[in-house]
Amino acid sequence: MISLRVRHSLSMLSGASHCSLFRGIHEGILEGGREEASSIHPTALIHPDAILGKRIFVGPFCTIGSEAKIGNACKLHTGSHVIGNTELGDSCCVLSGAIVGADLPGRTIIGSNNEIGYHAVIGVKCQDLKYKVGDECFLIVGDNNDIREFTSIHRSSKSSDTTVIGDGNLIMGSCHIAHDCKVGNNNILANNTLLAGHVVIEDCIHTAGAIVIHQFCHVGSYSFIGGGSVISQDVPRYIMVSGDRAEIRGLNLEGLRRHGFSTAEIQTMRKAYRKIFMRRDANAESFEDRLSEVELNRELAEVSAVCSMVRSIRDSFTESRRGICKFGHWRGS
């Protein structure tokens, strides 16, 4: 779920190495005896200890703190700020009014080719009463993310955890990702999607906006959450949910097609879905029996997506998890 780059960054935070991820940038500035041209507005406030890459653009009234490391070809637009122990990868764009990092113990690491929207606040202190002043807290963001205006993404609540955003996500305006969340790759979080602490978002999920996800919930890959939903339990992989409180409505058929699942795979998944969720007499068999029936069915068990869906459901009923969203046998896929 989390990219190799992000996993590498997590290992860096574990204390195994104290080397800067941006050493190559620092050496690149000196290589050949000269710097490549950058454009820095005279009103920008840049601490002399900050490490700046090549070909950067820093607009009027920006600030770059003493521990900041700015990658090659980054652009900081008017009134944007990079502060604290913050590392900004190559080719990132920080738009006007955005704040990246904070003067806190710990670190904010932003990968390459990310755009951070107007007045977004990324890598600041969490909103959690468990946080103790002086504790280290961390945020790692991967590559190729589009983080839009007024979004807030907070650091972890304790030194033993990390807020993580993967690669290729579109996080639309006014979203909130709280402390210790784990967001995978290629997700679309529409406007006003709100994630409470410790939420796990896998890969390729899509929210329709104005949704709330309760702390510690898991949202499985390739799922879809309808607009205005309140998620208080886990959403299994490949499933579509909506409502307050959200209920299972069927397979995310359109999402599966768009992500390249074959017609044969989808038909087999529909058979498995019906066996699990669409019994006419809900009392005829237990939910455990339905899952076991799918697992023992040779035709269904040969399809990896079916196995993944069943495993996702079973994992949601382990001791530390919240179970899955409610469902009714009359609902189709």
The owner of tokens 């679309």 is 188
| Contacts (Cβ under 8 Å, ≥6 apart) of 93 | 74, 75, 77, 114, 115, 116
Report residue 29 as tokens. Answer: 């500035």
Q: In what order do the strands lie in the sheet with 194-195?
A: 45-46, 63-64, 81-82, 99-100, 121-124, 152-154, 176-177, 194-195, 212-213, 230-231
Confirm whether 26 is a catalytic residue: no
Confirm whether 197 is a catalytic residue: yes
**How many angstroms separate the CA atoms of 110 and 305, rounded?**
32
Q: What one-letter code names the amino acid at 95?
A: L
Nearest Cα neighbor of 84 from 57, 106, 59 is 106
Confirm whether 218 is a catalytic residue: no
Q: Which residue out of 111, 197, 220, 250 is catalytically annotated?
A: 197
DSSP H/E element including 258: helix 253-258
Before 245, cis peptide (omega within 30)?
Answer: yes
Q: Which residue out of 179, 198, 206, 218 is catalytically annotated?
A: 179
Rg (CA), the chain: 22
Q: Which residue out of 180, 198, 218, 255 is catalytically annotated?
A: 180
Active-site residue set: 179-180, 197
